[in-house]
């Protein structure tokens, strides 16, 4: 709506309408100038703990080579750099009007900076366990750590949910055990051709990678199906799961994701940077998949701004309705993370507002938001 107004009382939106519409509550009026007001953005899949690696991981040799470089770089990282990198990234997200995050973490070293950030966060405590014999040990330690963290995070607005890395880095035994324990709440799924190949035939680049890491002797019987079908056969696909990527999927997989109530966090800029496919967005929309956006980490993309991912999808799929893309960057993410109070400009929702200023009068605000040129900022109340 052009010339719209949003009335805020405390932390809540209480009225939304046009400037000349009767019924607006009295109070101080602030004119934000030319631009677009929108709900705070929701980044449903990122890895703040990798922010210090920005610019340090070669992305030019494809997905498996990138994973190899990332694993090696993390081995020599120190916790001080991890924390300060996460803190810088959080500051940029907060200033840029991101209201909520799904933050995937293996190490949980940066949680102290989250508590002070002013952004609602779900921490996906991500577990990697390829050796089936380690299932009980890894899960028990994770459950214990989670209960300790929940105690220390009380009152911070952050919560911790158990997550699995991916179907080609976590054994079937571990995934079944995680399902029995109520998880996983997040997973990387159908991200690369290497993953699909490995699950189909048990060979390819991922087999080489596992052998390099000393895991070549671990018995693995490839299920001979797609990553989505495999995850479904283990009971992983359930309502509330946030599955990142899902680019290597067909129409049957899309229907499965929709029927199981899975939220899919698309991260197209990361896919492009690592030489993976673009997500088959029209296919997913047709199947009714619940969609949101993530950025993945600064080890694969240049910013944690989900509006840039929406802009890339807009360029790739100009036939997709612009409202649908903007919803994915806002309300879709809020639904995926369980933050019902966020994601739209409606009375009753939390007043987490973002504003994208423009130098010129805008004829098509949505087109501007999805142009790649719009930069949002938080509206301080």
Interface residues with Zn ion (CB under 5 A) are: 296
As measured in angstroms, the least distance from the Cβ of 335 to Zn ion is: 19
- Beta-carbon contacts of residue 14 (< 8 Å; ≥ 6 apart): 7, 8, 25, 347
Whether the CB-CB separation of 175 and 236 falls below 8 Å is answered with yes
In the bound state with Zn ion, the residue whose beta carbon lies nearer, of 135 and 295, is 295
CA–CA separation, 99 vs 304, rounded Å? 12
As measured in angstroms, the least distance from the Cβ of 296 to Zn ion is: 4
Whether the CB-CB separation of 90 and 114 falls below 8 Å is answered with yes
CA–CA separation, 381 vs 378, rounded Å? 9
As measured in angstroms, the least distance from the Cβ of 267 to Zn ion is: 7
Give 133's DSSP letter: G
Q: Which two tokens stand for residue 237?
A: 């696909």
In the bound state with Zn ion, the residue whose beta carbon lies nearer, of 266 and 352, is 266
Alpha carbon of residue 248 to chain centroid: 17
CA–CA separation, 294 vs 305, rounded Å? 9
In the bound state with Zn ion, the residue whose beta carbon lies nearer, of 44 and 257, is 44
As measured in angstroms, the least distance from the Cβ of 79 to Zn ion is: 20
Closest to 63 in 3D by CA, of 263, 300, 265: 300
As measured in angstroms, the least distance from the Cβ of 61 to Zn ion is: 18
CB nearest Zn ion: which residue? 296
- DSSP-H helix ranges across the chain: 63-75, 79-95, 111-115, 135-153, 172-180, 193-201, 205-212, 227-233, 251-259, 268-273, 281-287, 306-316, 322-329, 331-337, 365-369
In the bound state with Zn ion, the residue whose beta carbon lies nearer, of 296 and 335, is 296
In the bound state with Zn ion, the residue whose beta carbon lies nearer, of 54 and 368, is 54
As measured in angstroms, the least distance from the Cβ of 269 to Zn ion is: 12
Half-sphere exposure of 360 (CA within 13 A, CB side): 5
Closest to 193 in 3D by CA, of 277, 313, 69, 70: 277
In the bound state with Zn ion, the residue whose beta carbon lies nearer, of 13 and 309, is 309
As measured in angstroms, the least distance from the Cβ of 212 to Zn ion is: 21
As measured in angstroms, the least distance from the Cβ of 50 to Zn ion is: 9
- Beta-carbon contacts of residue 128 (< 8 Å; ≥ 6 apart): 106, 164, 165, 169, 170
Q: Which two tokens stand for residue 222?
A: 């490839």
CA–CA separation, 175 vs 235, rounded Å? 8
As measured in angstroms, the least distance from the Cβ of 166 to Zn ion is: 9
CA–CA separation, 60 vs 274, rounded Å? 7
In the bound state with Zn ion, the residue whose beta carbon lies nearer, of 119 and 379, is 119
In the bound state with Zn ion, the residue whose beta carbon lies nearer, of 248 and 296, is 296
In the bound state with Zn ion, the residue whose beta carbon lies nearer, of 98 and 356, is 98
As measured in angstroms, the least distance from the Cβ of 300 to Zn ion is: 8
In the bound state with Zn ion, the residue whose beta carbon lies nearer, of 103 and 296, is 296
């Amino acid at each position: 709506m052009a010339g719209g107004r949003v009335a805020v009382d405390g932390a809540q939106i209480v009225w939304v309408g046009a400037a000349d519409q009767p019924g607006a509550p009295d109070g101080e009026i602030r004119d934000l100038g030319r631009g677009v007001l929108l709900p705070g953005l929701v980044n449903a899949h990122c890895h703040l703990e990798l922010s210090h690696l920005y610019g340090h991981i070669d992305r030019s040799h494809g997905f498996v080579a990138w994973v190899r470089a990332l694993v090696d770089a993390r081995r020599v990282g120190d916790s001080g750099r991890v924390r300060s990198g996460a803190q810088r990234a959080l500051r940029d997200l907060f200033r840029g009007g991101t209201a909520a995050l799904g933050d995937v973490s293996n190490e949980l070293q940066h949680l102290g900076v989250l508590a002070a950030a002013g952004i609602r966060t779900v921490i996906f405590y991500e577990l990697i366990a390829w050796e089936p014999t380690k299932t009980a040990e890894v899960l028990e330690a994770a459950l214990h750590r989670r209960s300790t963290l929940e105690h220390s995070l009380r009152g911070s607005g952050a919560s911790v949910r158990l997550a699995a890395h991916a179907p080609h880095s976590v054994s079937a035994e571990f995934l079944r055990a995680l399902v029995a324990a109520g998880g996983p709440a997040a997973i990387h799924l159908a991200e690369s051709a290497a993953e699909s190949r490995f699950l189909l035939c048990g060979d390819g680049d991922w087999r080489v990678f596992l052998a390099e890491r000393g895991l070549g002797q671990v018995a693995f019987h490839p299920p001979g199906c797609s990553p989505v079908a495999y995850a479904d056969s283990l009971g992983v696909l359930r309502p509330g799961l946030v599955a990142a990527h899902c680019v290597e999927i067909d129409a049957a997989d899309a229907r499965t994701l929709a029927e199981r109530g899975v939220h899919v966090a698309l991260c197209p800029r990361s896919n492009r940077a690592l030489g993976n496919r673009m997500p088959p967005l029209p296919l997913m929309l047709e199947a009714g998949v619940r969609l949101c956006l993530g950025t993945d980490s600064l080890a694969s993309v240049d910013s944690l701004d989900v509006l840039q991912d929406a802009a890339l999808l807009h360029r790739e799929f100009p036939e997709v309705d612009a409202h649908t893309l903007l919803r994915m960057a806002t309300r879709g993410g809020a639904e995926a993370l369980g933050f019902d109070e966020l994601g739209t400009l409606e009375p009753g929702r939390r007043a987490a507002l973002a504003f994208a200023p423009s130098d010129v009068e805008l004829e098509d605000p949505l087109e501007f938001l999805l142009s790649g040129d719009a930069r949002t900022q938080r509206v301080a109340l």
